[in-house]
Amino acid sequence: MIIVEPFRCRPVARRRVEIVERKGTGHPDTICDSIMEAVSVALSREYKKEFGAVLHHNIDKGLLAAGRGRLQFRGGMIEKPMELYIGDRATFEAAGRKIPVNEIAFSAAKQWLKENLRNVDPDRHVRYHSVLASGSEELTDIFRRAGKARGANDTSALVGFFPLSPTEKLVLKLERYLNSGAFKSRYPETGEDIKVMGLRNGRALALTVAMPLISRFITSERAYFARKEDIRRDIARFLKTVRDFTSIDLHLNALDIEGRGIGGIYLSILGTSAESADSGQVGRGNRVNGLISLGRPLGAEAAAGKNPVSHVGKIYNVLSHKVAEKICRNVEGIAEVYVQLLSRIGSPVSEPEMATAQVLLDKGLALKDISRQVSSIMEKELSHISAFCDKLAQGRFPVC
């Protein structure tokens, strides 16, 4: 069932207060999400190569337990490596053939670390544990049932929205800038564990940025604060190009206090707090659009690592945002749209129990003017869900 209804709230960008967060590439939660998704993509590729279809798996119960390091200026030492636990379910055997699930999982994890955390040695700095097991008979049977689209393996409700507000766009853009290759070339002493928190009050924006400096590049407390000021000025120049706010107040590494030595500055050996301070877990980080937006409705499902053909926790999570974007871009007069998708376990993922578009219309427009167009877009996207799931299986859509 598809329903189009008016959205009665004020759009996020016109509310007095807006709070938006992004956890960057090296944040322990983002590492967890990203690796579990990389494992799912690698397994999906192997299943399709060997059996012609994605088989049952859900790699969505991951934990990165922090290690222990000893910091010092000009260096430091990792005394205890990080511990990565990979769960939850996978298909280990099909048609009489065994699948090397754990080897695939560990290889995908190491490859992601190698490509994204330039100071982490995947073999020396991380230990790997698989707690993957075979799935239940009822859930694995979904993959043996006939039908163009798989049956949903859960009853879940997910929501997506479009467009992003100016605050959301800037928070996302700033983290990507700080973790870009160009920025890292200019400031090789900056780590990937970046967190950006944006608070808009009216048209005034406050940004709090946390970003460690790599200890081997820093010779003293004085050198740390000098380099931090260089970085702060670079960010300030970047923010000068933004015209959406009357003022932007920037806070960089706000826990720092001069005169306290290593205890008063944000140093890191590897560029991630998971080396010594913070553990990470799937589902505690960014939503599939890369943000944690407190003013938006959020679904309870983590998308990372879930299988891409029957688990609506992934499929509807991503699809709801994509459908919202398509509606907003193709139907004139819609200022903001929220798409809600509800599955019923066992029903084809192409046939949600409920699909709702809540639309905020421009002045002078009535719901009857656009409802048919919106419904048509939703019907079309759902009818093409098999192709969408195939792209999900290839990792074509980011989930954090």
Tell me the pLDDT tens digit for each residue of 286-296: 999 999 999 99
| pLDDT of residue 363 exceeding 90 | no
In this structure, which amino acid lies at residue 167? T
Within this chain, do residues 112 and 170 fall inside the same structural domain, yes or no? no
- The span from the CA of 242 to the CA of 250, in Å, is 13
Pair 159, 174 in one domain: no
Identify whether the C-beta of residue 86 lies closer than 8 Å to the C-beta of residue 130: yes
The CATH number for 306's domain is 3.30.300.280
Which range of residues forms the domain containing residue 200? Answer: 165-276
> Are 176 and 159 found together in one domain?
no
The end-to-end CA distance of the chain, in Å, is 29
Residues 276, 71: Cα–Cα separation, whole Å: 10
| Residue 284 forms part of a structural domain | no
Q: Which of 207, 241, 276 finishes a domain?
A: 276
Which residues make beta-bridge pairs with 281? 63
**pLDDT higher than 90, residue 136:** no
131 & 218 share domain: no
11 and 159 co-located in one domain? yes
Single out the residue in 276, 311, 344 at which a domain terminates: 276
> Stretch 336-362: mean pLDDT, rounded?
95
In-domain check, residue 291: no
Shared domain for 317 and 226, answered yes or no, is no
Asked if 397 and 288 count as a contact pair (C-beta separation under 8 A), the reply is yes
**283 part of a folded domain:** no
Q: Is residue 176 part of a domain?
A: yes
- How many angstroms separate the CA atoms of 344 and 157, rounded? 9
Residue 204 lies in a domain: yes
Q: Is the pLDDT of residue 362 over 70?
A: yes
Determine the 3-state secondary structure of 40 from DSSP. Answer: helix
Q: If we measure between CA atoms, which residue out of 238, 248, 144, 252 comes closest to residue 208? A: 252
- Residues 242, 248: Cα–Cα separation, whole Å: 9
Average pLDDT over residues 150-176: 96
Alpha carbon distance 377, 359 (integer Å)? 14
Average pLDDT over residues 163-185: 98
Based on the fold, state whether residues 136 and 42 are members of the same structural domain: yes
* Distance of alpha carbon 392 from alpha carbon 319, whole angstroms: 10
Q: What is the CATH number of the domain that holds 135?
A: 3.30.300.10
Q: Do 320 and 267 share a domain, yes or no?
A: no
Q: Cα angle vertex 327, ends 325, 333, to 5°?
A: 115
Residue 108 lies in a domain: yes
- Is the confidence at residue 383, as pLDDT, over 90? yes
Q: What is the pLDDT of residue 148?
A: 77
Q: In degrees rounded to 5, what are phi and psi of residue 215?
A: -65, -30
* Residues 245 and 270 reside in one and the same domain: yes
Tens digit of each residue's pLDDT (9 = 90 or more) over 318-337: 999 999 999 999 999 999 99
Would you say residue 158 has pLDDT above 70? yes
Are residues 271 and 367 part of one domain? no
- 306 shares its domain with 352: yes
What pTM, to 2 d.p., does this model score? 0.95
Residue 211 within a domain: yes
Q: Does 314 lie in the same domain as 270?
A: no
CA nearest neighbour of 121 among 130, 129, 110: 110
Q: Is residue 374 part of a domain?
A: yes
- pLDDT tens, residue by residue, 11-35: 999 999 999 999 999 999 999 999 9
Residue of 140, 111, 138 whose CA lies nearest to 126? 111
Total Cβ atoms within 10 A of residue 222: 10
| pLDDT tens-digit series, residues 47-79 | 999 999 999 999 999 999 999 999 999 999 999
User: How many other C-beta atoms lie within 10 A of the C-beta of residue 238?
Assistant: 16
DSSP string spanning 98-155? E--HHHHHHHHHHHHHHHH-TT--TTTSEEEEE--BPPPHHHHHGGGS-SSSPBPSS-
State pLDDT tens for residues 294-315.
999 988 899 999 999 999 999 9
Q: How many domains does the chain have?
A: 3
Last residue of a domain, one of 242, 276, 310: 276
pLDDT of residue 145: 78
Nearest to 57 by CA among 84, 87, 100: 87
- Residue 138: pLDDT over 70: no
pLDDT at 249: 98
Helices and strands (H and E) in the chain: how many = 9, 19
Counted residue by residue, the chain has a size of: 400
Name the nearest CA neighbour of 189 among 148, 130, 153, 230.
230
